[in-house]
Structure 1
Amino acid sequence: MKLSQEARARACLPRQGPPVPWADTGTGVGTAFGTFGELLQGVLPEEDGDFLVTLPVARWTMATFRRESVSGELEVWPRHKTKALRLAQMIAELAPVRARSLRGGSLTLDSVIPEGKGLASSSADLVATARAVGRALGVAMPPARIERLLSRIEPTDGVLYPAIVAFHHRSVRLRAVLGSLPAMAVVGVDEGGSVDTVDFNRIPKPFTPADRRAYADLLARLTDAVRGR
């Protein structure tokens, strides 16, 4: 039987209990991991060819959404997580009428992923938020829906999939599930500074046709390497 890309991604998850059913519970919790930069990033010889390959790491964001707030408006903590707040507002518009009629909501993000270091902290915030708000408001959040919502906010890493994936980060869509690797320790040195994802992706990348063909070859070799563990 031929599996879809999403099914193959789910098959790479660690063994765990049964999935939590989508339900209108009033409170929802969602998590998402970060990624240690990229195993590969470049442009392929095709339209919308910008891509990256994720390297998931055990650093997490947890989002908790409660379907009420003191102000009666949607709020986020910490206050500077405005992208997550915007996503919560977008999901609230999809909720059943009964959920939309309640008094605001409170979104809290708790993360151990450093911000502005290329570790997908913003992407993890957004994916965790989508899962938490969806559970609280009874709105199903399959990967395809999360991708569509995130594409309206910013370029996004493929952290909504549990495995190593090739992902079109500008258009926010899965290209391929590559698999998983044996456990390893990753050591990084922070020399300071930070990167804004939106600003970085506005910088023109003058790749030549030869560069694009080279990236296609690198992606094929990396795909074989990951699948061969």
Structure 2
Amino acid sequence: MSWAAPGTCGEFVQGRLDGIDYLINSPIDRFSTATVRSARRPGIRAANPDRHSKVAQLLTMMGAPEAECDGMEIELNSDLPAGKGMASSTADLVAAMGAAMHHLGTTALVPDVCRSLIAIEPSDCTHIPGVAHVGHLCGRVFRCFLPPSGLRVLILDCGGSVDTVAFDRARAHKVYARHEREVRDALSLASRGLVTGDVQQLADAATMSARLSQQILPKPPFEEVERLARSAGALGVNCAHSGSVLGILYRPGEVKPSLLSELIIRELGDAVSIVGDHAFISGGIYVRRH
């Protein structure tokens, strides 16, 4: 048995209002998984060694003192590329936490998990069921929504990697302050789209937020990607506000992802690479029985 936590395609929207940095996350069907077992050699095994100390720190904060020496062997595997804005670190932490807490027979409240995750690093909080509007630097949960139905995303990588911790927040805050009205409008439109199930409103909000992000962490192919997406019948684009990916948002049946991928590759060449085509899903911790 293993536990899985979803990554994201960036965020639907992100900004800063009333002194609080916020985002609406965008969980997708691409995961980090963790398996835990009693072991002769307790510890954390992960493809990314940087995760070891963070996982141990989180487990200790969640009530598992000296987690690495508590008789557990935790094996982490991820299908999420690091440094791209796809919540790979959050997914690793959440999957490991779910597996370890089951092994220890303990549970935790969502707000406590949020605060613990954010004490380690900024977090998309994808352990929250549904789609969540959160303060990703303070751990506050503002609202939860059902995931959008009938919406998929073709994920493009613009190259390079971004350290979320080193992200230039001072620059971001200045941009959000200058464009407070757009920040409020994007949040309001995204919330309304999620409540009513209007994926066009959600895509419009995501595109608005992604355009603002161009003033903070520009992605050179953005304008051309948006143009090609519209020409192919897609609804809009979203981005990783502190990462390198862009997402083309579309309704299945209205756009063929294979043709869209061919168009992007033909028109943009090696300016982008195709990461994958994914559905938006509910956040949370998924149990997988082998």
Aligned position for 1:215: 183
Question: Residue type of the partner of 2:25?
Answer: T
Please point out which of 34, 51, 75 is paired with 1:81: 51
Change (3 A) 1:94 1:201: farther
Q: Is the 1:32–1:124 Cα contact (8 Å) retained in structure 2?
A: yes
- Superposed, which structure 2 residues align to 1:5-16 within 5 Å? none
Question: Residue type of the partner of 1:114?
Answer: P
Structure 2 gap segments, 5+ residues each: 198-290
Q: What is the rounded CA distance, in whole Å, between the counterparts of 2:50 and 2:65 in structure 1?
A: 24
Q: Which sits farther off after the overlay, 80-89 or 145-154?
A: 80-89
Give the Å deviation of 1:63. 1.1
Structure 1 gap segments, 5+ residues each: 1-27
Give the Å deviation of 1:80. 3.1
Q: Which sits farther off after the overlay, 205-214 or 139-148?
A: 205-214
Matched, 1:93 2:64: yes
Matched, 1:200 2:167: yes
Give the Å deviation of 1:94. 5.5
Q: Is the 2:36–2:99 Cα contact (8 Å) retained in structure 1?
A: yes
Q: What is the rounded CA distance, in whole Å, between the counterparts of 2:4 and 2:146 in structure 1?
A: 20
Q: Is the 1:30–1:132 Cα contact (8 Å) retained in structure 2?
A: yes
Q: Is the 1:92–1:137 Cα contact (8 Å) retained in structure 2?
A: no
- Superposed, which structure 2 residues align to 1:132-147 within 5 Å? 132-147=99-114
SS at match of 1:152: helix
Give the Å deviation of 1:108. 0.9
Change (3 A) 1:225 1:64: same
Q: Is the 1:131–1:141 Cα contact (8 Å) retained in structure 2?
A: no
Q: What is the rounded CA distance, in whole Å, between the counterparts of 1:217 and 1:185 in structure 2?
A: 23
Question: Residue type of the partner of 2:34?
Answer: A
- Superposed, which structure 2 residues align to 1:174-189 within 5 Å? 174-189=141-156
Higher helix share: 2
Q: TM-score by structure 1 length?
A: 0.74
Q: TM-score by structure 2 length?
A: 0.60
- Superposed, which structure 2 residues align to 1:11-26 within 5 Å? none
Give the Å deviation of 1:194. 0.9
Change (3 A) 1:163 1:69: same
User: Pairwise CA RMSD of aligned residues?
Assistant: 2.4
Give the Å deviation of 1:55. 1.5
Aligned position for 2:73: 106
Aligned position for 2:39: 68
Change (3 A) 1:52 1:85: same
Aligned position for 1:11: none
Give the Å deviation of 1:103. 4.9
Aligned position for 1:226: 194
